[in-house]
Amino acid sequence: MAKDRLDGKCIVIGGSAGSLKIILYILSHLKQGFSIPIIIVLHRKSDAESTLTDVLNNSTHLKVKEAEDKEQIAPEIVYLAPADYHLLVEREHTFSLDASEKVNFSRPSIDVTFQTAAEAYGSGLIAIILSGANDDGTDGLKSVRKKKGITIAQDPKTASMYVMPQSAINHGLTDHVLPANEIAEFLNRI
Amino acid sequence: METPISDYQLNLVLTDLLEIYGYDFTAYAKASLKRRINRLYSLDRFPSFAEFRYKVRSDENYFNRFIEQVTVNVTEMFRDPLFYNALKTQVFPVLATYPFIRIWHAGCSTGEEVYSTAILLKEANLLHKSLLYATDINSEVVKKAATGVFPITHMQQYSENYRLAGGNGDFSQYYTAGYDHVLFSEELRKRMVFSTHNLVSDSSFNQFQLILCRNVLIYFEKDLQGRVFALFDESLDKLGYLALGSKETLKLFPMVSRFKQVGNEKIWRKID
């Protein structure tokens, strides 16, 4: 795949309760040479974050790291939003952290990352919403839609918590509704 | 949430703030700033951008509200308790060797962290010879911080943070509880000096042995972060300490070569 085709692409994945095993499945099924940067926003407790990075790293040939303030987003890297900060994407494809109020009772909030990534990547953004028990992500997907990005929801029938993907579907915001294995296949075909 | 204000309109507001009020937000991280301004715009239900802009330009009281709402004032006592433990165990023993200790909390917000530091100084028997300067761009939060009054709702969590930070007394001895608020003791407050200070435009105003600036620099673009680090460098005694938020770092800047990180927390000591 020509490198310049990838320069303006990015994948954002939002998940909450019950989404970790889906994320592990997707990461472990990405093909060799997969290079689009991936940003993961996962609701979780503030502690024990280094172990989560380790768990994800062990699942994939890609490098997984916690996103750092002002870091340039680069290919072949999976970034994890740090606990207790919102993760924002700047126009110049760098990260900013933000310790402001929780959004949807969550920090990091999926909406915040999706909205700013939509502004930064426009139609080059692929946003995926996975299992979860609240509706964080729905407003974010609205922004992704508006900027002509691609939106995917995990098939709620396959999600241990269906509320989050179902909310996106009910708002008519999803281009594709897929089980985990087809999400991985979809990403491998981009 | 929709984002009704475009990048172009954002720049108009930032130019107005600089020209009319002398507040320079142009080097703030844009995604975060835009989100905060959009939040205010929605919160105050402006019918159009033109009316919002007019209000900010022409009404100084609204400008003050703008500063209050657009800057982030989320804070807590003993935020990141292990950081405070490192302050107590690795920094205070060195500060104890000075006859007089000057500390600067830059970006102090409503003051929770200033009171936290004062409590640990008291327990290290250093408070009587310390002076804590606490500053923020936002005059409203500085006023609030100076009162020493905090909502009682968070005290249970703060008490737990205090214990995790290595506090060795009973947390409740430091305040008097009212119905829904607590008042921190005069003994702590009388060692504090509160003032507004804008890290973007104001200069160094004293020499310090310890500067704490936690979860402020993340809202700045990298160039501005560098300028603020230069200001701290200038304001720090040789062998003084600089303490940052858990996701902030000096390592991207050349001056890091003259500093040495202390332990695992975000604390650097000026060695040259």
- All structural domains of chain B, each given as residue ranges with its CATH number in brackets, are 7-70 (no CATH), 81-270 (3.40.50.150)
Query: What tens digit of pLDDT does each residue of A33-83 get?
Result: 999 999 999 998 766 556 889 999 999 999 999 999 999 999 999 999 999
Question: Average pLDDT in the B168-176 region?
Answer: 96
Interface test with A, best of B35, B72, B80 (most A CBs within 10 A): B35
Q: Is the pLDDT of residue B226 over 60?
A: yes
Amino acid at A129: I
Question: Average pLDDT in the A81-110 region?
Answer: 95
Token pair for residue B245? 């938020």
Choose among B13, B7, B21: nearest CA to B137: B21
Q: Is the pLDDT of residue B3 over 60?
A: no
Q: Is the pLDDT of residue A85 over 60?
A: yes
CATH classification at residue A109 = 3.40.50.180
What is the C-alpha separation between A30 and A184, in angstroms, rounded?
6
What is the C-alpha separation between A159 and B222, in angstroms, rounded?
40
Confidence label for A109 from pLDDT (cuts 50, 70 and 90): very high
Contact of B40 with B66, CB cutoff 8 Å: yes
> Among all residues of chain B, which has the CA nearest to that of A104?
B1
Q: Is the pLDDT of residue A136 over 90?
A: yes
* Chain B residues with beta carbon closer than 8 angstroms to that of A69: 217-218, 247-249
Query: What tens digit of pLDDT does each residue of A166-179 get?
Result: 999 999 999 999 99
Question: Average pLDDT in the A117-128 region?
Answer: 97
> Among all residues of chain A, which has the CA nearest to that of B36?
A100
Examine the residue annotation and report whether A61 is marked as an active-site residue of this protein: no
Confidence (pLDDT) at A46: 64
Confidence (pLDDT) at A44: 80
* Chain B residues with beta carbon closer than 8 angstroms to that of A79: none
Percent of chain B with pLDDT over 90: 97
HEC per residue, chain B: CCCCCCHHHHHHHHHHHHHHHCCCCCCECHHHHHHHHHHHHHHCCCCCHHHHHHHHHHCHHHHHHHHHHHCCCCCCCCCCHHHHHHHHHHHHHHHCCCCCEEEEEECCCCCHHHHHHHHHHHHCCCHHHEEEEEEECCHHHHHHHHHCEEEHHHHHHHHHHHHHCCCCCCHHHHEEECCCEEEECHHHHCCEEEEECCCCCCCCCCCEEEEEECCCHHHECHHHHHHHHHHHHHHEEEEEEEEECCCCCCCCCHHHHHEEECCCCCEEEECC
Asked if the Cβ–Cβ distance from A69 to B215 is below 8 Å, we say: no
Choose among A87, A114, A119: nearest CA to A173: A114
Confidence (pLDDT) at A48: 56
Find the catalytic residue in A19, A111, A131, A136: A136
Q: Is the pLDDT of residue A112 over 50?
A: yes
Q: Which residues of A177-190 are buried (b: 16+ CB within 10 A; e: fewer)?
A: bbebeebbebbeee
* Chain B residues with beta carbon closer than 8 angstroms to that of A120: 31
Token pair for residue B127? 């408070």
Q: Is the pLDDT of residue A1 over 60?
A: no
A76 — alpha (psi -120 to 50), left (phi > 0) or beta?
A: left
Question: Average pLDDT in the B15-34 region?
Answer: 96
Asked if the Cβ–Cβ distance from B1 to A115 is below 8 Å, we say: yes
Q: Is the pLDDT of residue A16 over 60?
A: yes
Confidence (pLDDT) at B272: 81
Choose among A40, A33, A31, A32: nearest CA to A11: A40
What is the C-alpha separation between B100 and A42, in angstroms, rounded?
46
- Which of A90, A99, A119 lies closest to B218 in CB terms? A99
Examine the residue annotation and report whether A136 is marked as an active-site residue of this protein: yes
Closest CA of chain B from A181, distance in Å: 31
Burial class (CB in 10 A: 0-12, 13-18, 19+), B125: exposed
Confidence (pLDDT) at B55: 97
Query: What tens digit of pLDDT does each residue of B239-260 get?
Result: 999 999 999 999 999 999 999 9
What is the C-alpha separation between B196 and B136, in angstroms, rounded?
5
Confidence (pLDDT) at A49: 57
Number of domains in chain A: 1
* Chain B residues with beta carbon closer than 8 angstroms to that of A115: 1, 3, 35
Question: Average pLDDT in the B103-107 region?
Answer: 98
Question: Average pLDDT in the B42-52 region?
Answer: 94
Contact of A132 with A23, CB cutoff 8 Å: no
Amino acid at A174: T
∠B169-B173-B175 over CA atoms, to 5°? 135
The β-bridge partners of B181 are B151
Closest CA of chain A from B89, distance in Å: 22
Q: Is the pLDDT of residue B140 over 60?
A: yes
Confidence label for B1 from pLDDT (cuts 50, 70 and 90): very low
Domain that holds residue A51: 3-189
∠A170-A172-A178 over CA atoms, to 5°? 80
Kindly report the average pLDDT of chain A as a whole number: 93
> Among all residues of chain A, which has the CA nearest to that of B2?
A143
Confidence (pLDDT) at A7: 66
Confidence (pLDDT) at B247: 96
Q: Is the pLDDT of residue A4 over 50?
A: no
Closest CA of chain B from A42, distance in Å: 18
Sign of the four-CA dihedral B143, B146, B149, B154: positive
Examine the residue annotation and report whether A43 is marked as an active-site residue of this protein: yes
Token pair for residue A125? 């953004």
Question: Average pLDDT in the A114-118 region?
Answer: 97
Amino acid at A110: I
Return the half-sphere exposure (C-beta side, CA atoms, 13 A cut-off) of residue A99. 21
Asked if the Cβ–Cβ distance from A120 to B31 is below 8 Å, we say: yes
A162 — alpha (psi -120 to 50), left (phi > 0) or beta?
A: alpha
